[in-house]
C-alpha cells in the first residue's frame, strides 16, 4: 500500500498507509472518542477544516449508508485511523469508507498509533498538522506547516447561502444555520414542525418577518467570536420569540448576553460525555463536538447555568433569567450518541406554548 505521512506542528511525524483521496492537506488535528458513528462525525460540519482522528481502533467496519449523513458535502480536511476496515459488513452499507472518502475528496491515513497521537494532543493541545506523501521534502513541509495560517471563516464556508424549507404542519421554527446537522431537522420533523433554514448572517428583522414561533441556533465550526453579526441578531430577537441554542448556538447566545468564551486545550469530541442538570441532579450521557466553551466566571446575572460537565465542570447549558431562551453545549439530537437529552426539543416546544399563552394573557 502507498505510504502517507502525518506531520504535527510540534515536529512529531507518523508514517501510515494512504486511503481515501490522494491529496496533501493541512488543518487543525483533533480526536473523537466515539466507538461508533464515524459517518455522522465525518459529515458533521462542526469538523470543518479539521483533521479528524478516531481513537477507536477499528473504523469503517459497517461501511457508509444513506441514513447516517449529517451533511451531503463533508468539509473535514482528513481522517486518521488506526485500522481501516477493508471489507465492510452491514445490510445498510452502500460503499466502503475508502470509497466514500475518495468520492468526497478527503484523504485518509491508517496504521497510525492513535493512542500515542491522542496523548500528544491531550498534553500539548490541538495543533496544526499536515498529511502528505513521503516523496515530498520533509523540512519544506514542516516549514510550510508552521507558516500556514488556518482560515477563520469556517461558518461562512458551511452555512447555507439561501433560505430553504423543511415543511411540516406544526409550529413554525426558524433554524439559523451555523453548520447544522441534519439530525436537528429530523428531530423537528418527528414533532411535525414547519422549519425554515436561514443563513448564519440573517438579520433579526428578516427572522421576525418570517413570523416564527421559535428560533433554533444550530451547531457549527470554529470560534464563536468570528461571527459578530450573529450576536446582533440574537440581541434583536431575544425577548420577542423563544430561542434554543445548540453547541455553537449556545456559545453565541452566551456571547450575545455578555459572557466570554475560551479555546479549550483539546475540546470535547465524542459520545460519552456525562453532563449534570444542576436543578435536578439528573445525569445525561451526551454527544459533543466543540473546541470552545463559555467562561463560567464571565457569565452575567441574566444567564443561569443549567448544566455542567461532570469531569471538568465546564458550562454545558444556560437559561436566560428573564427571556424565554436557553441553550446547551452538547447535542440533544444525538446523532451519533446516546438519546438521553432529546427531551430538550420537547422542552423547547413547551416553552413556545407557554410564551404564547403568556402573550394571550397580556
For the annotated catalytic residues, the residue numbers are 247, 331, 333
Phi, psi of 207 (to 5 degrees): -65, -45
3-state secondary structure of 242: coil
Grid cell digits, residue 333: 439530537
State yes or no: 220 annotated in a binding site.
yes
Sheet containing strand 243-246, edge to edge, reads 164-166, 194-199, 172-177, 214-217, 243-246, 325-328, 315-320, 303-309, 261-277, 283-294
The answer to the question of whether 248 is labelled as a binding residue is: yes
111 is in an annotated binding site: no
As a whole number of angstroms, the distance between CA 115 and CA 292 comes to 23
d(C-alpha 189, C-alpha 338), whole Å? 19
251 is in an annotated binding site: yes
- Residue 240 grid cell: 420577542
46 in a known ligand binding site: yes
Judge whether 71 is annotated as a binding position: no
CB 219 within 8 A of CB 179: yes
From CA 27, how far away is CA 96, in angstroms rounded?
A: 24
- 20 labelled binding-site residue: no
CA 261/CA 252 separation, integer angstroms:
9
Question: Does 222 carry a binding-site annotation?
Answer: yes
Residue 126 and residue 28 in contact, taking contact as beta carbons nearer than 8 Å: yes
Annotated binding-site members for L-glutamine: 46, 220, 222, 248, 251, 289, 291-292
Annotated binding-site members: 46, 220, 222, 248, 251, 289, 291-292
Amino acid at each position: 500500500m502507498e505510504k502517507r505521512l502525518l506531520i504535527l506542528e510540534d515536529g512529531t511525524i507518523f508514517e501510515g498507509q494512504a486511503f481515501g483521496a490522494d491529496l496533501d492537506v493541512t488543518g487543525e488535528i483533533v480526536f473523537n472518542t466515539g466507538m461508533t458513528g464515524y459517518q455522522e462525525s465525518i459529515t458533521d460540519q462542526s469538523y470543518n477544516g479539521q483533521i479528524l482522528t478516531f481513537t477507536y481502533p477499528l473504523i469503517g467496519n459497517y461501511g457508509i449508508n444513506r441514513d447516517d449523513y449529517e451533511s451531503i458535502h463533508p468539509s473535514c480536511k482528513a481522517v486518521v485511523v488506526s485500522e481501516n476496515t477493508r471489507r465492510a459488513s452491514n445490510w445498510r452499507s452502500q460503499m466502503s469508507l475508502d470509497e466514500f472518502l475518495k468520492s468526497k475528496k478527503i484523504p485518509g491515513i491508517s496504521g497510525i498509533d492513535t493512542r500515542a497521537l491522542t496523548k500528544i494532543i491531550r498534553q500539548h493541545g490541538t495543533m496544526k498538522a499536515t498529511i502528505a506523501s513521503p516523496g515530498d521534502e520533509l523540512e519544506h513541509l514542516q516549514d510550510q506547516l508552521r507558516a500556514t495560517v488556518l482560515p477563520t471563516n469556517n461558518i461562512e464556508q458551511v452555512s447555507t447561502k439561501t433560505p430553504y424549507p423543511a415543511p411540516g404542519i406544526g409550529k413554525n421554527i426558524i433554524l439559523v444555520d451555523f453548520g447544522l446537522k441534519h439530525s436537528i431537522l429530523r428531530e423537528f420533523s418527528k414533532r411535525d414542525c414547519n422549519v425554515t433554514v436561514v443563513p448564519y448572517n440573517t438579520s433579526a428583522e428578516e427572522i421576525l418577518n418570517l413570523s416564527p414561533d421559535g428560533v433554533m441556533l444550530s451547531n457549527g465550526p470554529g470560534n464563536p467570536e468570528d461571527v459578530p453579526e450573529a450576536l446582533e441578531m440574537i440581541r434583536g430577537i431575544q425577548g420577542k420569540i423563544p430561542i434554543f441554542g445548540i453547541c455553537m448556538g449556545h456559545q453565541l447566545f452566551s456571547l450575545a448576553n455578555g459572557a466570554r468564551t475560551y479555546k479549550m486545550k483539546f475540546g470535547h469530541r465524542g459520545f460519552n460525555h456525562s453532563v449534570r442538570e444542576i436543578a435536578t441532579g439528573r445525569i445525561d450521557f451526551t454527544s459533543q463536538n466543540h473546541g470552545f466553551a463559555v467562561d463560567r466566571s464571565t457569565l452575567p446575572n441574566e444567564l443561569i447555568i443549567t448544566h455542567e460537565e461532570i469531569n471538568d465542570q465546564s458550562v454545558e447549558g444556560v437559561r436566560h433569567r428573564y427571556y424565554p431562551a436557553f441553550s446547551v453545549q452538547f447535542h440533544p439530537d444525538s446523532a451519533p450518541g446516546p438519546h438521553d437529552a432529546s427531551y430538550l426539543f420537547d422542552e423547547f416546544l413547551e416553552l413556545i406554548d407557554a410564551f404564547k399563552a403568556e402573550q394571550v394573557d397580556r
